[in-house]
Amino acid sequence: MTKPLVSIDVGGTLGHAEGPSLAEILGRQSPLGAAEARRIMRQMLHTQPSLSPAIVADLCAALRIPESAFPPAIQAQPLKLVPGAVTALRAMSQHATVVTLSNVTCAEADTDRLRQLLGPWVTDHFPSCRIGHAKPDPDAFRFVASACHASIEDMIHIGDDWACDVIGARAAGVTAIWLSRRRPAPDPNCSTTTACSWPAISPKPASTSPT
């Protein structure tokens, strides 16, 4: 029997950064609504393998902020894992191939640190800046499935962001598990498995039931 592939979001799901992200800093300064600013940054920031002056200029123009608002120095913020994450990863890795799939800028992606925190249970990491696709783009999920030599039908994605992690995964044909942290589902008619916290997620994701 083929082991399922489980992709997991990082920020907000496996842990929380100790400081604001570049996207958060820029989003706070944009006069656009939060949703529109996030959409622009997913397309123009998170998918870039490098940040040239031209990319920064185009992004700031799209966000309607001055180029001076773009931080001159950017570095990855330390990630603090949420309670229960390591236990869940250890258990899931016994039954599935586990990887991460996250929207993150090239200036903040720190896969070496993730390997230290999450190895040996997580076998690979797929930041958006590496794969050129950002969730909820279905191609982000398809890229991971292809890279891991898995079929979409055997893939499960876990995340805390409804639009990126649930809607995006389902659009790609991937089974989604929403880490709700007791928030109500934005769409109660969407038949997606929900877990309120990491301990509620089954060690065997393929058989997880709603909680």
Give the list of residues 6+ apart from residue 190 with CB closer than 8 angstroms, or none. 166, 170
Position of tokens 């902020």?
65
What pTM value is reported for the model?
0.90
Q: Tens digit of pLDDT for each residue in 21-62?
A: 999 999 999 999 999 999 999 999 999 999 999 999 999 999
Ranges in the chain, pLDDT < 70: 1, 199-211
CB-neighbour burial class of residue 123 (10 A; exposed 0-12, middle 13-18, buried 19+): middle
Torsion sign across C-alpha atoms 109, 113, 118, 124: positive
Q: How far apart are CA 88 and CA 196, in angstroms?
A: 13
* 192 touches 174 (CB < 8 A): no
pLDDT at 189: 78
CATH topology of domain 5-17+77-207: Rossmann fold (3.40.50)
Domain ranges of the chain: 5-17+77-207, 22-69
pLDDT at 174: 96
Q: From the centroid of its chain, how far is CA 94?
A: 22
Q: How far apart are CA 91 and CA 98, in angstroms?
A: 10
Angle between helices 34-44 and 53-63 (to 10 degrees): 160
